[in-house]
């Protein structure tokens, strides 16, 4: 007989999920009600408003897809790409590659703009491709590459796309709530995100927003959308607003309770304060890591505060070290992905996992684990270096 499952106590400082606040956990345990209950429909409207607030948009099509970020990605591409459409896809990590898969599976032609893992998307390379073709339908890129810890210049890329008359499809899975993100001001046309990163809501939901221009493209399709579940023209019958909601699918009721609570907490803090908090704790962590003698593997001007790629020192057994931190500290940090496997660790400071407590625990765990493996690092300096940053910030 299989017994009830009780998860071990963990501190989540990997690439997501981040720690979920007790308020959000408690919200998920509230009694399930019907997905068409008037009280539930009222909560859906609030989620929509809160997402518009967090995404800085007035787009009426702003809603949580009832599935993880990779389904949110698919929701954008399956609605916006038709067979033969040329889409510029920028790849500078894992998720650009997944975008390419999406474009091609829906019959589109992916024009790849590749940059090294650890670099930002090159605006100039994108411009060059736009110059070569006059029928590009959309530019797709990742704002915050979770696989490398790199921020690309979403504002400049969106401006470029507007100049050349094409739509933008933006992966904001790791950026939402952690760094500046301005859907309307930057002119983003389609965006998907995740709940388990800087929002610190439970994983499994993907906030999505579409601009009027994006909806216009959907309404003018010549071919049918090859998905029923993700067809935005249908989903909006349920999420669209007004008193009358058409049944489309059964919403993940309790997960949405959790998302609602996490968004209420974000609103209480203020989105700009949340951005500042991520910056502050990132500075403290970086200063501590560098004082220890570790190197940040991403250049300072394109570093994500919420996802810190740190070079693994020579001679360290990656998996063993992460295993020891999990065992001894209950601390999860992320492994490198793809080309960066074994070369970097990814230390998340996302949402509820972005506090001084997290920074200090992580520095202590890293220092002691590396010392145990005989790494040549500076012992006893990291905590003071981090504290020095907090002193400056009056934290």
48 and 241 Cβ atoms separated by less than 8 Å:
yes
Q: How near is the Cβ of 285 to its own copies at its closest, in Å?
A: 19
Q: Interface residues for its own copies in 194-233 (CB under 8 A)?
A: 194, 196, 202-205, 224-229
- Among 55, 90, 289, 337, interactor with its own copies by CB under 8 A: 337
The yes or no reply on residue 26 touching its own copies (CB under 8 A) is yes
Q: Interface residues for its own copies in 3-22 (CB under 8 A)?
A: 3-10, 12, 14, 16-17, 19-20
To which residue do tokens 């459409």 refer?
85
Comparing CB distances to its own copies, the nearer of 125 and 248 is 248
Strand pairing of 11-13 and 331-335? parallel
193 and 72 Cβ atoms separated by less than 8 Å:
yes
User: Considering only 134-142, 180-188, 247-255, 354-362, which stretch makes contact with its own copies by CB under 8 A?
Assistant: 247-255
Q: How near is the Cβ of 363 to its own copies at its closest, in Å?
A: 20
Q: Interface residues for its own copies in 135-154 (CB under 8 A)?
A: none
- Among 70, 233, 368, 373, interactor with its own copies by CB under 8 A: 70
Comparing CB distances to its own copies, the nearer of 196 and 297 is 196
Applying CB under 8 A, what is the total number of residues that bind its own copies?
Answer: 84
Neighbouring CB atoms inside 10 A of 122's CB total 18
Give the DSSP letter of residue 119. Answer: B
Residue partners of 242: CB distance under 8 A and separation at least 6: none
96 and 141 Cβ atoms separated by less than 8 Å:
yes
Neighbouring CB atoms inside 10 A of 39's CB total 8
- Among 124, 268, 272, 301, interactor with its own copies by CB under 8 A: 268
Site string for its own copies, 39-68 (x = CB under 8 A): xx--x--x--xx---------------xxx
**Alpha helices of 164-270 — where are they, by DSSP H?**
183-186, 212-219, 232-239, 253-269
The yes or no reply on residue 69 touching its own copies (CB under 8 A) is yes
Q: Interface residues for its own copies in 86-115 (CB under 8 A)?
A: 98, 101-102, 104-107
The yes or no reply on residue 319 touching its own copies (CB under 8 A) is no
Comparing CB distances to its own copies, the nearer of 35 and 278 is 35
Comparing CB distances to its own copies, the nearer of 45 and 372 is 45
For residue 192, say if its preceding peptide bond is cis, omega within 30 degrees of 0. Answer: no
User: Considering only 85-93, 181-189, 245-253, 371-379, which stretch makes contact with its own copies by CB under 8 A?
Assistant: 245-253
User: Considering only 124-132, 151-159, 263-271, 279-287, which stretch makes contact with its own copies by CB under 8 A?
Assistant: 263-271
Structure-block tokens of residue 113: 């703009």
Structure-block tokens of residue 92: 């500078």
Can you name the residues that pair with 192 across neighbouring β-strands?
A: 171, 208
The yes or no reply on residue 295 touching its own copies (CB under 8 A) is no
CA–CA distance, 181 with 175 (Å, rounded to integer) = 7
Terminal Cα-to-Cα distance of the chain (whole angstroms): 51
- What sign has the CA pseudo-torsion 228, 173, 59, 125? negative
Q: Interface residues for its own copies in 375-394 (CB under 8 A)?
A: none
Alpha-carbon Rg for the chain, nearest whole angstrom, is 21
């Amino acid at each position: 007989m299989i017994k009830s499952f009780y998860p071990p106590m963990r501190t989540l400082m990997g690439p997501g999920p981040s720690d979920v606040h007790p308020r959000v956990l408690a919200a998920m345990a509230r009694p399930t009600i019907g997905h068409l209950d008037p009280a539930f429909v009222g909560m859906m409207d609030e989620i929509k408003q809160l997402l518009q607030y967090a995404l800085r948009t007035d787009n009426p099509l702003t809603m949580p897809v009832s599935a993880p970020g990779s389904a949110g990605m698919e929701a954008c591409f399956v609605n916006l790409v038709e067979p033969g459409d040329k889409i510029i896809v920028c790849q500078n990590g894992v998720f650009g590659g997944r975008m390419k898969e999406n474009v091609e599976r829906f019959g589109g032609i992916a024009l790849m703009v590749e940059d090294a893992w650890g670099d930002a998307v090159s605006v100039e390379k994108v411009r060059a491709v736009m110059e070569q073709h006059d029928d590009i339908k959309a530019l797709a890129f990742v704002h915050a590459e979770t696989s490398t810890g790199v921020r690309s210049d979403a504002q400049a890329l969106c401006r470029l796309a507007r100049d050349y008359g094409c739509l933008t499809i933006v992966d904001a899975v790791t950026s939402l709530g952690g760094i500046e993100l301005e859907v309307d001001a930057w002119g983003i046309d389609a965006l998907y995100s995740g709940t388990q990163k800087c929002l610190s809501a439970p994983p499994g939901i993907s906030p999505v927003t579409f601009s009027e221009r994006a909806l216009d493209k959907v309404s003018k399709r010549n071919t049918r959308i090859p998905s029923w579940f993700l067809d935005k023209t249908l989903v909006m019958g349920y999420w669209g607003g007004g008193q009358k909601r058409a049944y489309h699918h059964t919403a993940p009721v309790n997960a949405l309770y959790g998302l609602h609570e996490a968004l209420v907490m974000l609103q209480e803090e203020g989105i700009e304060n949340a951005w500042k908090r991520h910056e502050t704790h990132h500075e403290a962590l970086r200063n501590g890591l560098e004082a220890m003698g570790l190197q940040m593997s991403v250049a300072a001007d394109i570093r994500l505060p919420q996802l810190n790629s740190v070079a693994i020192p020579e001679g360290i057994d990656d998996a063993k070290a992460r295993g020891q931190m999990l065992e001894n500290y209950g601390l999860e940090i992320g492994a490198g992905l793809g080309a960066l496997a074994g070369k970097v660790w990814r230390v998340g400071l996302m949402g509820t996992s972005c506090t001084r407590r997290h920074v200090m625990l992580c520095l202590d765990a890293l220092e002691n684990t590396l010392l145990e493996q005989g790494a040549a690092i500076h012992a006893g300096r990291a905590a003071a270096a981090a504290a020095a940053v907090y002193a400056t910030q009056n934290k």
